Chain A
Amino acid sequence: MVLDFSSQAHYIWALLPEIVLSVWGMMILLIGVWRKPEESTSTSAADLGWLTLVGIALAAAANGWLYGVEEVGSGNMIALDHFRLFANWIFLLAVALCVLISFGYVYRQRLQAGEFYALIMFSAVGMMLMAATRDLIILFLGLEVMSIAVYTLTAFNRRDPRSAEAGLKYFLLGAFSTGFLLYGIALVYGAAGTSNIAGIALSVTSGAASSALLVAGIALLTIGFAFKVSAVPFHMWTPDVYEGAPSPVTAFMSAAVKAAAFVAFFRVFTIAFDGVYESWYPIVWWLAAITMVVANLIALVQSNVKRMLAYSSIAHAGYLLVAVVAANELASAGLLFYLLVYTLMNIGAFAVVISVANQGEDRLQIEDYAGYGRRNPLLAVYFTIFLLSLAGFPGTGGFMGKLYLLLGAVDSQLWVLAVILVLATLVSYWYYLRVAWFMWMREPAAAGELTVQFMTPMPMRIALLAGAAIILFLGVFPGGTLAFAQASVESLSQAALGITGALP
């Protein structure tokens, strides 16, 4: 099939995964509403969860189908390149894993299953739009669809004041940062005369864009994106929101929302603003360096595991920013690969946190992990694998991801940033290994603790097993996936070349 966007129908085909997810989400929402509250049992909540997974599978099929679709030209509003499709895999994987780990939580915390799963799907639609954007307006649209769903999800646990507080905080700061982004889009539009990314790139390279306006717009866009990816110093909201939000939502936010923001960040900055790389890369360079250093240092002193993982996710944003600074083909493939691995290991880690907290929000202190290796050896092994991967030990996907990012960085001669990255990694060893030593090397404070057993629902066990297995697989046999990531970004760099190549 060839799409040239000459008719409206072409847009429907190009947005098929998004449309499938949206329709399915509305259906889940309606089913949830039709059910009487007294009928809500563990099985009925689970039904909706499985139904959501079916929808995700359908969206995945649509995404796979798009590989056979060709587009004409690269100036359309919706991208059909493989960069977008690879990013979609990451989002769909994240959504699927999050649904799998929420079964027990949704039931135990008596959340409205229908609304919960529908909101997760809607936010995924927003993310997919952000990955597909070839126009700043679509970017804004996707961002808002995603963000509003996630604001609601953060405040979703109505019985927990911390959840409400986190939701409010996230909403206020998020809206504020969206303001920056929108103002940035407006200024860039003013400078370039178009909101189309390819058009902006053309006018930037030809020098037609007025530079003061453009630089101001880029600065505002940087701030907006830095908020979304939670880069230091725009990270203040992250620990509080991540700590207060329901744990499955935190897992979702820290992996998928970040991935979406990074994919859009990368596309906009490396294609639209490629011509003025010199003017924005020092800002992002410093953002990356400060984020890596500060987040890792603060994470050292956290005693709450959920909060520690929040800082860890900020630190990972720092590593990913290195790829944005490097802005070459290796780095863009590295970004995708790292986001994939990061999604798996971070959601996996949060799954264990949810399980230790008994599908709730207590037992989040690091002392609660003492003796966990004896209480629940299998889950402790999973957690150890995820932690080692987050730390980037060889044999795990985390190492391969970091190696990829480092290769991208050195390809652009960013030696100082590469050294900061490895030193930050060294710091991170401490707090990841700290959890491991509590699990395996400490005895619990109360002797009775060792016999405490919590049920881990089967879907969560599936997610954990799959996550750990893929992490180890990617650590030992990364070749195929790396090549796939590499192939996925070729279209992106070709697009960038195509634009600049069109110039006289």
Chain B
Amino acid sequence: MTALLESIGYPSWILHALVWLPLLGMAAVLWLPEARAKTVAFWWSLAVFVLSLGLWWTFIPQSGDFQMTLRIPWIETFGVNYALGIDGISLFMVLLTTFMTPLAILGSFNYIKTRERGFYALMLLLETGILGVFLALDLILFYVFWELTLVPMYFIVGVWGGERRIYAAVKFVLFTAIGSLLMLVALLYLYTTAKALNGVASFAYVDVLGTPLTLREQLWLFSAFALAFAIKVPLFPFHTWLPDAHVEAPTPGSVILAAILLKMGTYGFLRFLLPLFPAAAQHPTVVAVMLVLALIGIIYAAWVAAVQPDAKKLVAYTSVAHMGFVVMGIFALTVNGIQGGLVVMISHGISTGALFLLVGMLYERRHTRLIRDFGGLSKVTPWFATILLITALASIGVPGTSGFVGEFLSLLGTFETHPVVALIAASGVIFAAFYMLPMVQKIIFNPLDKEENKDLQDLSGRELVILVPMALLMIGIGFYPTPILDRMEPSVEAVLEQVERSAGTGELDLRGLADRVPDVPGRGEAPDPHVPAASQPRESTFEGVFEGFAGVSEDVELGPTDPGHADSRAWPASVVDRE
């Protein structure tokens, strides 16, 4: 297979094709008559998915570097490049996007009844934007695609949405834009600094990577980037746009939003935040803040979800909780944590997408989404009940489903450095059962006491075609995640190495201060400052765990006014690799 693909030059054109084919599809949809819009859009996006499958074979799993990279000057005056590339982190985001888009389009066949041409054109435009975000290796190119996703989503929510659609659409755009516009300024700062240093004006990711910045600068830029990504994720307390947007969006809009758009935020954390601002990302206060926000998101969203009468709103809040696990895993700064976060991203994309589709299918039949209007559906719609149950279990994270793999790994990774955080977060898994199972019970079990529900149609063939692959994937990843984990691992390690290396070489202005700081309690011997952290003798997992934890709690006491305490070299040593 690999040889066949390589013989047709697949690696050299696939990334171009992935980014621009959906746009071409948009043109086709707009050009062809309205009646054929949906079929053309579906087959087109399916073709893109089939094309993208080749990545599975041509991607070299052993390498943590960017693959299939290409770089063409785009705006030479500014040093902006059309640079694309893929690694183990973006690979799965790309596949998730190409997988979910045709399903979301297929899921909208009955839902979207007006102005179909515009709708399907926007869906394909959205796919171009998202794939661009995941593949771009140039800051401006990334920004362009990042903002480009706003426009189609604005119209999808605003035109085809529910009662309060305009409010939701505008809130979505404005919230996201606050972060991204400030990110633009931060990005320009990074560019000017790199330009002054290298003498080369370039926005390319590889050129700005490793730009030495003082801790102060890093913290500022980190904040600007983190705000943009945190709003997108959404991290508590920036999540308020999400329930509105989800509830008002048409089903396919919610699916894309939950399954893929939110991942752009966490992807940004991994791709830009950690490697570009390693000192800030390792700063104990920053880590503590991010972990605490993630924890609040996990617990708070679960509680809020539990009391929602509207099934769609409930599912919307579960997104906040799940994305909390991702952020927690990432800021644990361990291989396990980040890998777990990535698997949660995939799993959440599939399971929440399926949940939104299921709720949407109920809504198409009954024109209500209130949980209390249903009950006993397992008797009339067995297929629906089966798939809802599988999806709900995957969403909770029951062993044997994809949710379990992800949440377990991210908890494990967090436990390695911050056991208390992991302990609290683990309760989030219990809360997930607490909000999800009652909903499942009220909808598909309980007595069948509503007259309107007695002649409900079970899933049609089209709906089964959408949902069965998703259900199979949830179970498949749950039982055998190794191929996915193997492909991620080198890239995740590369990201962590990036973080460690810059800290180890002492780009920070707090170098030397560490000697004056008393030993961190619970740590054995201070690492030799002249040896890069990565090559320090590794301590046992147990010690590492406590060391990391001590680091956080101490800094909370000392506060950010004493950066010397941060002791940049102590951190990487505590990062325990997956063995």
Contacts and interface: CB of A to CB of B under 8 A. Distances in A.
B partners with A: yes
Contacts of B188: 406-407, 410, 418
Contact of A479 (B76, B140, B166): B76
Contact of B177 (A399, A426, A479, A483): A426
Given A406-B185, A433-B173, A482-B77, 14 more contacts: A394-B144, A403-B140, A403-B184, A415-B185, A419-B185, A422-B181, A422-B184, A422-B185, A426-B178, A430-B174, A437-B166, A441-B166, A483-B76, A483-B77
A486 B75 CA distance: 12
A415 B189 contact: yes
Interface string A421-450: 011011001100110110011100000000
A83 B145 CA distance: 33
A393 interface: yes
B60 interface: no
16 contacts: A394-B145, A403-B140, A410-B185, A418-B185, A426-B174, A426-B177, A426-B181, A434-B170, A437-B158, A437-B166, A437-B169, A441-B158, A441-B165, A478-B75, A482-B75, A483-B76
B575 to A, nearest CB: 34
A394 B75 CA distance: 14
A394 B145 CA distance: 8
A423 B180 CA distance: 11
B211 interface: no
A487 to B, nearest CB: 10
Contacts of B77: 479, 482-483, 486
A199 interface: no
A441 B177 CA distance: 21
A429 B192 contact: no
A367 interface: no
A370 to B, nearest CB: 11
A395 interface: yes
B75 A393 contact: no
Contacts of B178: 426
A322 B473 CA distance: 53
Nearest to B158: A441
A410 B181 contact: no
A423 B181 contact: yes
Contact of B150 (A393, A403, A410): A393
B148 interface: yes
Contacts, number: 81
Given A426-B174, A429-B177, A393 B192 contact: no
Given A393-B147, A399-B144, A482-B78, A411 B170 contact: no
Contacts of A394: 143-145, 147-148
A388 interface: yes
B151 interface: yes
Contacts of B76: 479, 483
Contacts of A395: 144, 148, 151
Contact of A419 (B75, B174, B182): B182
B166 A429 contact: no
A471 to B, nearest CB: 14
Nearest to B117: A377
Interface string B141-174: 0011101101100110011000001100110011
A429 B174 contact: yes
B182 to A, nearest CB: 6
Given A388-B151, A393-B151, A486-B77, A406 B184 contact: yes
A374 B159 CA distance: 12
B195 to A, nearest CB: 9
Contacts of A441: 158-159, 165-166, 169
Nearest to A422: B181
Contacts of A410: 185, 188-189, 192
B181 A440 contact: no
Interface hub of B144, B148, B165, B174 (most chain A Cβ within 10 A): B144
Interface in B328-353: none
Interface in B73-105: 73-78
Interface string A386-423: 00100001110001100100110011000100110011
Contacts of A430: 170, 174
A483 B75 CA distance: 9
A403 B181 CA distance: 11
Nearest to B167: A437
A426 B173 CA distance: 10
A411 B192 CA distance: 8
A388 to B, nearest CB: 7
Interface string A464-489: 00000000000000110011001000
A90 to B, nearest CB: 19
A423 B224 CA distance: 13
Interface hub of B77, B144, B184, B188 (most chain A Cβ within 10 A): B77
Given A393-B151, A433-B173, A479-B76, A440 B159 contact: yes
A388 B188 CA distance: 22
A388 B151 CA distance: 9
Nearest to B183: A422
Nearest to B188: A410
Contact of B170 (A407, A433, A482): A433
A429 B173 contact: yes
Contacts of B185: 406, 410, 415, 418-419, 422
A465 to B, nearest CB: 15
Contacts of A429: 173-174, 177
A418 B191 CA distance: 14
Contacts of B174: 426, 429-430
- 8 closest cross-chain pairs (CB), A and B: A394-B144, A422-B181, A482-B77, A441-B158, A394-B147, A410-B188, A479-B75, A437-B166
B261 to A, nearest CB: 16
B555 to A, nearest CB: 28
Given A415-B189, A433-B173, A440-B155, A425 B181 contact: yes
A481 to B, nearest CB: 10
Interface in B184-240: 184-185, 188-189, 192
A429 B151 CA distance: 11
A266 B344 CA distance: 54
Interface string B122-143: 0000000000000000001001
A497 B154 CA distance: 49
A407 B174 CA distance: 23
B58 to A, nearest CB: 28
A422 B166 CA distance: 23
Interface hub of A423, A434, A479 (most chain B Cβ within 10 A): A479
A90 B371 CA distance: 61
A403 B74 CA distance: 14
Nearest to A377: B118
A425 B180 CA distance: 11
B237 to A, nearest CB: 19
Contact of B154 (A399, A403, A418, A433): A433
Contacts of B170: 430, 433-434, 437
Interface in A481-504: 482-483, 486
Contacts of A388: 151
B85 to A, nearest CB: 20
A483 B154 CA distance: 33
Interface string A81-98: 000000000000000000
Contacts of B150: 393
Contacts of A482: 75, 77-78
A430 B148 CA distance: 17
A411 to B, nearest CB: 7
Contacts of B177: 426, 429
Given A403-B78, A418-B188, A433-B173, A440 B158 contact: yes
Contacts of A374: 115
Contacts of A411: 192
Contacts of B115: 374
Contacts of A478: 75
Contacts of B75: 400, 478-479, 482
A441 B160 CA distance: 8
Contacts of A403: 78, 140, 184
